[in-house]
Structure 1
Amino acid sequence: MDTPSSLDEQLRQLTERLEKLERLVQSQIQRIFAIEKRLASEAPPVQTTSTYSSAEVLRGPARAPSAQAHPGAEFQVAPPASPPKQPDLAQTRSDILPSAVPPQSTTPTGESLESLIGGNWLNKIGVVAIVLGMAYFLKYAIDNQWIGEMGRVTLGVITGLGFLLWGEALQKRLYRGYGLTISAGGITILYFSIFAAFNFYSLITQLPALFLMVLITTTAVLMALRHDAKIIALIGILGGFLTPVMLSTGKDNQSGLFSYVALLDLGILALAYFKDWRELNLLAFIFTQLTFLGWSLSFYTSAKLWLTELFLTLFFLIFAVMSFLYNIVYQRKTSFRDLSLILLNGAAYFLWTYGLLQEKYFDYLGLYAILMAVVYVGLGSFAYQRARQDAYLVLVFLGMGLTSLTLAIPIQLKQNWITIAWAVESVVLSWVGFLAPDRKTRLASLLIAFLVAIRLLFYDSQFFPLVNSDFTFLFNQRSFTFAISILAIFAIAYLCARHREKLEGLESGLVAGLIMAANFLLIFFLTTEMAHYFEIKYYREKIYELQRAINNQKQLSISALWAIYSIGLVTIGILRRYQPIRLLAIILFGLTIFKVFFVDLSELDKIYRIVSFVGLGIILLGVSFMYQKYRNQINEFVLK
């Protein structure tokens, strides 16, 4: 019986023979492939009739157990039964090895997680630990007065440079991730050392400190370019924007600060362009806005208005031109980051300028908004011509132009003129949307029309106080505003009906919806106007009996208005064979019936109550007769 030691020895010998055999088979296969390749290049391909089967060679020992105890035994090679193919050596070897030797686990997830923790996270944590350790060491050395001020700074600079050299050496030895982390730590230590030399110890003045920090930032950018290392670029950007903060003396230097930020932005945008790191653009924009915010909170005064506006415009143009070059001139596909930068840049510039100019130049802010609208519409038009396939970019530019124009109206105009201008704008956009044709432009038209309706219902209907002696029924500012706005909605409905074949999806129901909305606004206006007329009369009277009579007249007039308007809707709906109008009439009849039974019955005096009920009954009978008379036409149209 074999002892365990002899079994181990046999297993070891078998493993060695298998490894030797694998190498032999691989070399033979490579030779065969090389010969076939050479023959194929010299003569027409011929079919191979005899070669070795690598799988059979490897399976030889498994079919001859006696060979395990005799290493020198001969292997029998069977002739091939099919053309040669690359053997699966790993599978063949697993078939031969005894089951007592478990296969090694090759789970990618486990290995990648282990590699991520061991080779990535740990070295970053280690660098942070070293930086913190250096800081604590310096503090401890300072507390015990081991090292003077110059020595502390010198030690920090030497450590930072040492980290940079160490990181370079590691990257040359193919330890890229590890080396980049070490280099990032070196950049951080150098920033901190120069900051300490200037701020803590006053060993150098502001100008040399600025020069050294700019040099460190430049070094970080060059390293990022050389090693294609985004992490180094991020640290350099952070250090570049923190440099003015770390070297601040508490005194204002607006021109120097913003000139430095502008140059830094240009450098970052160039780096982002050449390496296609477009997220750096957004990062630079955010830091620029934070820098401007910090300065304005501390140093801005109205005397610095135009210089501040000049730098604001410069920052806006830097980021706008970069988006322009990326997406229009070079026609790179617009990403979410690009769109975010375009929107944020435009919004920030508009809000900052609005805030700066409103104190002295409020009356001209509407013109500024219109100018911005012209700029964005021009960019959108140019983008449509040069990068038509980039639909998102075109829509963003046009959308920002439309937004600026829409904002210009309430900024420049007052009261009802805002509503009128929006109403006209909605019609123009609808016309352009059908002319283009472009569904999104038509959607923008509907959104603005919705804003018009909101203003009509909740703002423009409240223009006149009850004691206004200048009020003239139906001939006043409110009537003019409602008339223009309602006509605008009818005009949009007309455009939708005329270009019905261009409507898509849910747009097919726009015509009916717009007509019903316009009629609702019209009946709302007439009701408000009539109620206002009687309320003014009511508050002018001092005698209770006359006030009571005026209230009766108001309620009766409103009921009559609704009933007569319903008759008109039914008549038009029957003659034009348009069901939505008839449905609106029925709804209004229902409201009229509810008002007569639950409001007029309790509030009106007897004579007015009688007139209200009798009049409603006559009207309802007349409408019912019309439905009976034209029943066949109505049913025929509905069935169609």
Structure 2
Amino acid sequence: MDIFLLIIIVIIGFIYLSGRISNLEEQLRVFRSQEDLRDLEGKTRPQVVKESSPVVPQESAIPEKMPVYTQQAPRFFSSANTPKTEGSPAQIQQTNDSQLEFKLGSKLATGVGAVAVIVGMGFFLQYAIENNLINESARVILGFIVGAVLMGVGEFARQKYPQYGPVLSGTGLGVWYLSLYAAFNLYHFVTQPVAFVGMIFVTACGIALALRYNSLPLAVFAQLGGFLTPFMLSGGSNSPHTLFGYIAILDIGVLVVARWKSWKLLSVESFIGTALVYALWFSQYYTSAQYAVAQGYATLFFAIFLLVSLVHFFVRHEQTDESDFALLVINSALYYGASYAILNPLFHDWMGLFTVAFALLYFSLALIIKEQSESGSKLRLFLWSIGIILLIIAVPIQFEKYWITIAWAALGFALAALDFKLNSRTVRFFSYAVFVLTFFRVIIFDSMFLVSPTPDGLVWANTRMFTFYFVFIFLSGAIALLWHRRDDLEDDEKTTALPLLMFADYAATLWVLSAQIHDFHKEFWYPILWSVCAAAGGFVSLYVQSKFLRVAVYLTFIASAIHLLVFESDLDPKLYTPIFNERAFAFFAVILAIAGFAWALRKYKEVLEDDERQIVIPVSFLAANFLTLWMISREVIDIFKTANIRNMALSVVWTFYAIILLGAGIIRKSSVARLSAIFLLGIVVFKVFLFDTSNLDTFYRFVSFITLGVILLLTGYLYNRFKDRITEFIRGE
């Protein structure tokens, strides 16, 4: 009874779907006919002449096969889809009433009648069984006769009533399905193979009638009955060859239909039915001993629907749409998922090669497509995309640990190189995506675990650094390729994607090398590493004119300076060596890097934006001099243990540094240097007059004041001696 109710529901869905598709077909006919009318009017419109000499169009001007629209309204203006009518409200209401009457009198009546026939047959069988009116064989034969009569009437009616005939034929098919089900499952007249053959025959008749009537709903109904057959005729045994052979016949029929008809709904229905049948069998009966059977039929079904999704383009030369793309993706995903579930437990080491071979299939299909139309380009890029995704998946399946990162980086570079030939935004997008995966794997996995040095003690030749070397080479190579072809990139790629790749390369370098220092070196190497990387990144950012990368460089220099001041200023007195110590080395490296970058900023300042020229260049100069003065001051403090000598030495050193800075400002025509020198002299004056006077002995006061006085007098002399030049510098700046 459940199957009986299911068939009733299917019939109702068939009728509803038939009406919807018929409406769409009628609307399409209206549209095309209106286009033909407009074209015909444009070709046959008579020329405008004077009234005194009217010209009658000659018969030759009228096409021989021109339809005569004055005698009878064409079929596409039937009341089923009457176009909008202009007129009085009463006329419009009359038209609407006629349309409603037609729908109630034809479509609704036909649909309800078809359902009533099926229900009546079911009740007839029930009544015949309960009262033994006719024997079992007669019931089945009578069902076949009624079905044949309905299909015969449908064939006769379709010529005059094209929407009525397919419904009757579909009803007859339903009666045949029900009769076969009763013959096998209720009365056991036929064996399962015979019932299968009968169901195949009924389905084939349905598809043939659908092609004859050009009726997609009838084809959908027939195919649905075909896929319900395994459930209606199931004997509870595991017979994969019989089951999948039958399903393959149905799918091949869909492939044949796709050659002649653009019935994509039929393809989707068959794909869903095949996937459900296969999934149910796999969940109930599959064992590892049946891997060859399961994989073989999965491959067969995949190949059939791959051809179905491509036949419209290659054979019918139709444009591919979302349904074709969806079928390509879902078919590939389900096949790969089934293959992984079947093969991975048995042949894990070969799964990576299997995935690569699967990707090569799509690459081959993409290369076959030579058509330069928009549809061909989309399909080609879609096939490339599926192949690339499969390659990305193949990497973690085939490799382990750091080899995954290296393989992804190599794939990203290969895609960037492939773009030289294809010039495809899609290919570049996948290259970006692969490098994003690579970046996060480097940051999260490959650099966070302690990696011991190699047996010979080479800490910079361990697996982490081995991975980083390859990632850096491939990522830098891809950036160079894309930069070389930057004119071919889209605007968003120039402003976002390419700078982000540069930042990823820069950030990964900082992160991995910092992890090396954390594991194997002292902390004073942190600011040295950061400042050197920042200087290198700064030169690159100026060359490629990337503000995004320069901002990362500025932040790195700030981090280096803060680390120096907070963590590297103090040294262990027991291990202290004047000047030649870790602190001086770290400060000197950072100062040199900042000074070199400040020089590059001044040299290529036309690349900078206004805010950078006004802020970053002066701040870089001040930072380098501040760190230099800080380092010298810390050395003075650690060298001189006596407070009087230490304070006096600081005053003297600051004063001499100020005069050197002032001289450099005059020579280099730098107002920032000159003003910095004056500000530093002010600090020295404040220190000498307020602090040194109260805390130093008389001799040290004498030295501080004399030194300060001489320097200030020299400063005043220089400003007076070179007054004109300094004024000229100021005006020039």
Same fold, judged at TM 0.5 (above) = yes
8 A contact 1:574–1:634 mirrored in 2: yes
Query: Could you say which residue in structure 2 is the equivalent of 1:120?
Result: 107
Letter aligned with residue 562 of structure 1:
W
Secondary structure of 2:420's aligned partner: helix
**Does residue 1:198 correspond to 2:166, yes or no?**
no
Q: 1:294 aligns with which of 263, 280, 286?
A: 280
Query: Could you say which residue in structure 2 is the equivalent of 1:492?
Result: 478
8 A contact 2:395–2:407 mirrored in 1: yes
Query: Could you say which residue in structure 1 is the equivalent of 2:512?
Result: 525
Q: 2:256 aligns with which of 270, 287, 306?
A: 270
8 A contact 2:355–2:393 mirrored in 1: yes
Secondary structure of 2:460's aligned partner: coil
8 A contact 1:171–1:179 mirrored in 2: yes
Letter aligned with residue 584 of structure 1:
A
Letter aligned with residue 267 of structure 2:
N
**Does residue 1:250 correspond to 2:236, yes or no?**
yes
Provide closer, same or farther for how the CA distance between residues 395 and 482 of structure 1 changes in structure 2, counting only shifts above 3 A.
Answer: same
**Does residue 1:633 correspond to 2:633, yes or no?**
no
Query: Could you say which residue in structure 2 is the equivalent of 1:513?
Result: 500
Query: Could you say which residue in structure 2 is the equivalent of 1:549?
Result: none
Correspondences of 1:152-171 after superposition (within 5 Å): 152-171=139-158
Provide closer, same or farther for how the CA distance between residues 632 and 468 of structure 1 changes in structure 2, counting only shifts above 3 A.
Answer: closer
Q: 1:461 aligns with which of 434, 438, 447?
A: 447
8 A contact 2:408–2:435 mirrored in 1: yes
Q: 2:118 aligns with which of 131, 139, 162?
A: 131
**Does residue 1:342 correspond to 2:328, yes or no?**
yes
Query: Could you say which residue in structure 2 is the equivalent of 1:590?
Result: 558
Letter aligned with residue 363 of structure 1:
D
Q: CA deviation at 1:480?
A: 0.9
**Does residue 1:382 correspond to 2:368, yes or no?**
yes
Instruction: Give the Cα separation in 1 of the matches to 2:546 and 2:294.
Output: 61
Letter aligned with residue 161 of structure 1:
A
Letter aligned with residue 588 of structure 1:
T
Q: CA deviation at 1:219?
A: 1.9
Provide closer, same or farther for how the CA distance between residues 246 and 389 of structure 1 changes in structure 2, counting only shifts above 3 A.
Answer: closer
Which moved further from structure 2: 383-392 or 275-284? 383-392
Please list the CA deviations of residues 529-554 of structure 1 after superposition, one character each: whole Å capped at 9, or x if unmatched: 222336xxxxxxxxxxxxxxxxxx54
Query: Could you say which residue in structure 2 is the equivalent of 1:306?
Result: 292
8 A contact 1:331–1:387 mirrored in 2: no
Q: CA deviation at 1:446?
A: 1.1
**Does residue 1:406 correspond to 2:392, yes or no?**
yes
Provide closer, same or farther for how the CA distance between residues 370 and 604 of structure 1 changes in structure 2, counting only shifts above 3 A.
Answer: farther
Instruction: Give the Cα separation in 2 of the matches to 1:383 and 1:291.
Output: 33
Provide closer, same or farther for how the CA distance between residues 138 and 338 of structure 1 changes in structure 2, counting only shifts above 3 A.
Answer: same
Provide closer, same or farther for how the CA distance between residues 164 and 487 of structure 1 changes in structure 2, counting only shifts above 3 A.
Answer: same
Q: CA deviation at 1:639?
A: 5.7
Letter aligned with residue 332 of structure 1:
E
Provide closer, same or farther for how the CA distance between residues 639 and 406 of structure 1 changes in structure 2, counting only shifts above 3 A.
Answer: closer
Structure 1 gaps, min length 5: 1-36, 51-85, 87-100, 535-552
Please list the CA deviations of residues 493-526 of structure 1 after superposition, one character each: whole Å capped at 9, or x if unmatched: 1112222221222122344332222111100001
Q: Percent identity?
A: 28
Q: TM-score, normalised by structure 2?
A: 0.64
The size of the alignment, in residue pairs, is: 528
Query: Could you say which residue in structure 2 is the equivalent of 1:326?
Result: 312
Secondary structure of 1:449's aligned partner: helix
Instruction: Give the Cα separation in 2 of the matches to 1:334 and 1:577.
Output: 42
Please list the CA deviations of residues 573-601 of structure 1 after superposition, one character each: whole Å capped at 9, or x if unmatched: 6799875554322111333456678x859
**Does residue 1:373 correspond to 2:359, yes or no?**
yes
Q: CA deviation at 1:153?
A: 3.4
Letter aligned with residue 444 of structure 1:
F
Structure 2 gaps, min length 5: 1-43, 55-69, 71-87, 576-580, 611-733
**Does residue 1:358 correspond to 2:344, yes or no?**
yes
Query: Could you say which residue in structure 1 is the equivalent of 2:215?
Result: 229
Instruction: Give the Cα separation in 1 of the matches to 2:262 and 2:436.
Output: 42
Please list the CA deviations of residues 18-62 of structure 1 after superposition, one character each: whole Å capped at 9, or x if unmatched: xxxxxxxxxxxxxxxxxxx9xx9xxxx995689xxxxxxxxxxxx
Please list the CA deviations of residues 138-175 of structure 1 after superposition, one character each: whole Å capped at 9, or x if unmatched: 4455455556544543454344334334433443442x
Please list the CA deviations of residues 575-628 of structure 1 after superposition, one character each: whole Å capped at 9, or x if unmatched: 99875554322111333456678x8599999999xx999988877776776677
8 A contact 2:223–2:270 mirrored in 1: yes
Secondary structure of 2:345's aligned partner: helix
Instruction: Give the Cα separation in 2 of the matches to 1:516 and 1:349.
Output: 38
Instruction: Give the Cα separation in 1 of the matches to 2:423 and 2:514.
Output: 38
Q: CA deviation at 1:207?
A: 3.2
Query: Could you say which residue in structure 1 is the equivalent of 2:431?
Result: 445
Letter aligned with residue 605 of structure 2:
N
Provide closer, same or farther for how the CA distance between residues 473 and 271 of structure 1 changes in structure 2, counting only shifts above 3 A.
Answer: same
Q: CA deviation at 1:261?
A: 1.7
Letter aligned with residue 607 of structure 2:
F
8 A contact 1:167–1:178 mirrored in 2: yes
Secondary structure of 2:263's aligned partner: coil
Correspondences of 1:507-586 after superposition (within 5 Å): 507-509=493-495, 510-533=497-520, 553-554=522-523, 556-570=524-538, 580-586=548-554
Instruction: Give the Cα separation in 2 of the matches to 1:140 and 1:562.
Output: 91
Which moved further from structure 2: 110-119 or 415-424? 110-119
Instruction: Give the Cα separation in 1 of the matches to 2:89 and 2:551.
Output: 80
